[in-house]
Structure 1
Amino acid sequence: MVYRAISEDIKVRALYLLEQGYITDEVCDLLGVSQSSLYRWKANQLDHGSVIPPVNPL
């Protein structure tokens, strides 16, 4: 798969769709992203309060 940058806005909207009752497969197909990306964004939101992970200090 080709790497492409996905904006923070799209990531937030993807999580919003999940909260509204869409299933993971629907959100992934609609936005053209993988399930692993969606799960990673969700984990970042829960762990860090943002879909964007904090910058690595190294």
Structure 2
Amino acid sequence: MDVSAPAAADRRPADRHYRTAIGTSLRGGAKISRAGVAHAMLAMTEDPATVKQPVAVA
């Protein structure tokens, strides 16, 4: 199971421009759209580096 920790999520349309950090937090995390969080989470399902790791998304 992947765990993501988004910065402040809002209702903007997805733009697919976001940053991720595996196992640590992001400095200066900005807002991210909820759709962007969803896209990032779906992308994590195909990335073996994110298995059993916390992932920050901003």
- The TM-score with structure 2 as length reference comes to 0.34
Larger helix proportion of the pair: 1
**Counting strand residues as a fraction of each chain, which structure ranks higher?**
2
TM-score (norm 1): 0.34
**Bigger radius of gyration:** 1
